[in-house]
Chains A and B, each alone.
Chain A
Amino acid sequence: MRDLPMLETEVLIVGGGITGAGVMRDLALRGIHSVLIDKIDLCAGASGGNHGLLHSGARYVSTDLEAAIECRQENELLRRLAPQCVEATGGLFVAVEGDDPGFIERFPALCARAGIACEVLDAAQARALEPHLSPRVIAACRVPDAAVDPFHLALAHVDHARRLNGSIYLAHTELLQFEMAEGEIRAARCVEHRTGATRLIRARQVVNAGGAWAMRIARLAGCADVDLVYAKGTLLVHHDRMARHVVNRLRPPGDGDILVPGGSVSLLGTTSTRVDDPDRVAPTADEVDRIVREGAAMLPALAGARYTRAFSRVRPLLQSTGTSDRAASRGFALLDHASQGLGNFCTITGGKLTTFRRMAEQAADLVARRLGRAQPGTTSTQPLPDDVAGRWTDARGAARQAWSQDRADDPILCECELVPRSAIDEIVATCQAPATCQAPATGPGQPEPSVIAMQTNDMRQPEGRVDLEAIALRSRVGKGSCQGAFCGIRVASHLYDRGHYVDAAGLLDLRRFLDERFKGQRPVIWGRQAAQLELAEAVHCGLLGLDGLEADDDPATPAQAAPAAEAGGARGS
């Protein structure tokens, strides 16, 4: 196995969820260099598998006052500092016939206690705002919930950090083991999954932002003090926007009781089930049916709606005793692992999308203090630059650009979501760009000279290989009604045209991409989705033969084919 050049940095961050991306930018704003690694890619875990709900905090007023207040504060900050990632939809909490009148009555006061603006509406007012609401709605409250695009957010954070001080992000890079000496982590040995090559990353501090995998990462450092339980949540994607507001059920948190309109779709969910293994979760037909049923109590049209995907992710919850997972704290914890005899390792875990900035800030405070860097974090005041990195993740942005540009020489490759060829080229260029390193300004907070030297020796983003998954993560490609069936083929052809694919590996990548998209489609294939998929399969398998790329199936050399007598032999009917 070959070795990639060693990287040296001040801080290694393990886990490319929104928290890890947040730590990366927070440190960069303090002038601290970091390397962020993820075994898959940005937002591959819970960060990319949630409602995209920027909580007002109202969801938690009855179960966790502290979390509610944190949400309210972070919601206000993010709207102001990263408006390009937020859609200020507002939120409704609606009760239907049979819901607990006592809870309905208490709710406004609970919100007030957390400082959350809560406007009480009658059923008619609520239905005027959201015509799809059930005639059985009996009460409603309006709160400042919003929709947030976690992919755009993470991409913009990583991009900003790269541009601030040349911090590095490595996708498909998994931590194998730590090299430890004298009560410290000295380096991390990683494997780059696309090539199988290994790489050593030397760092002075290590931040474990592994989300549901944080317990495993901590154990690699010999720490037994991270105690998580895994709550599987399943969500459905409806292919259109069914409401203008986030719609929550006005009752204590339960299954299938939130609908979040975001971009061109709506997300509906979730369920909560305890699981043992964060790597093996998939939606079940029962969960899907339950979510649709519960959602339809608020919005009856959800019963017959078209769903394009379902997905499950694992929420890491801090271990607590005697409470249900719904009631368990959605708060977060920063563990400094001093009790484990380690002075340069910390774990930031628990929490939720809405509070990621605060989590990142507390982790960065600890790291900066340990590095002897005094300056405070500035993420509560510094706006997030409205950059290009995440602009193709936004459905509105894509449509806007398509209409405003409408260039004859720039065909739309993804017709569901209006992604033009130039967007693909732009994303590929971003993925392949060497990490830019601005001339280091002198002054406190800059990396030490030795670190700079190491950096400039290895400035290129290693490999920089492009694949359809990476493009889909950074754009709306594959997110529309066709779910990649047609745009996947077109984008793959374009990658061949541009010379990014040069051999059969491109088709294998196309197949991997389609197989991956299918995992999300599989639980919700009925109605029009079944028709769509039948056509897609006829093209992908019947014509293109993606179901047998490795088979020795070369009609030009029939001598190698199996004897006809075997035909039809092996089958499972």
Chain B
Amino acid sequence: MAVVFRGTAQSLTIVGNDEVAQNLFVIENGFKSRVNVIIRRLTFGLDSLVVLTSVQNVLKVSRCTAVSGGVILDKAKFVNTETSDSNVVIRAQANETARITATAGDTMWTQFGARMHTAVEQQQPEIDSSRFSFRNLIPQSALATTDLVLRPGNALLVKVIASAAASNAQISTNYAVRCMWEEDSITTFAISGTVTLGGSPVDGAKVMVIEADDAALTNAHLYEVKTTAGGGLWASTIRTGKVGAAFVQYQNGGTYYTAPGSPYLS
């Protein structure tokens, strides 16, 4: 369709959790979303303050499910007039009380972090400008032809795997994760109608537009509430490939009227 938003999100500094596995960062496209999310860049930084002479941690990227927790990150805009879909949510662990829970899927990409074999000289925790060489959490190609798409209901997880808990020490291990993405709008079809009472159109009636994956109401949700105007008229949209229905409530002189919805339309 068309790119309607481009933006970035950055984690706060995330400390290690003294465990061999730690979820750092998730970008999710909620199932109600009206966009596909295309990941353009996903990288990390790592600064470790103590010596580690055993193998360094790896960061793994996978699709994931059952996401909760963490803190919700701000979304920075490339263009101020663009608006991100509210169902696109980016979260990161902020501290020990805000861990992310998620179930990792198949690993898509793996990166070693870094380590300090002896505590001497300069540390280079961030080399993001060297885009083909360091800290890539997704494959980096010259033309970004490899669209990594998160469709509604999809999420991507960045997770640390350490060979030992001591390699991911809270007191000394610091991560930062950042992401750049685009939002590509999903096609829709129009639905509309006229609300009547006793055969006469009524304005001010509330029309609840329900969207679902199928007539069995998989992932059914309230998309929006419209108020009739201009002779009982209302109009909305449903994502192509989904089904929609509308239910009405109208209040007149203290009396509430309701109307059942039609069978789901596609």
Does B associate with A? no
Where the two chains meet, the residues of A that have a C-beta atom closer than 8 Å to any C-beta of B are: none
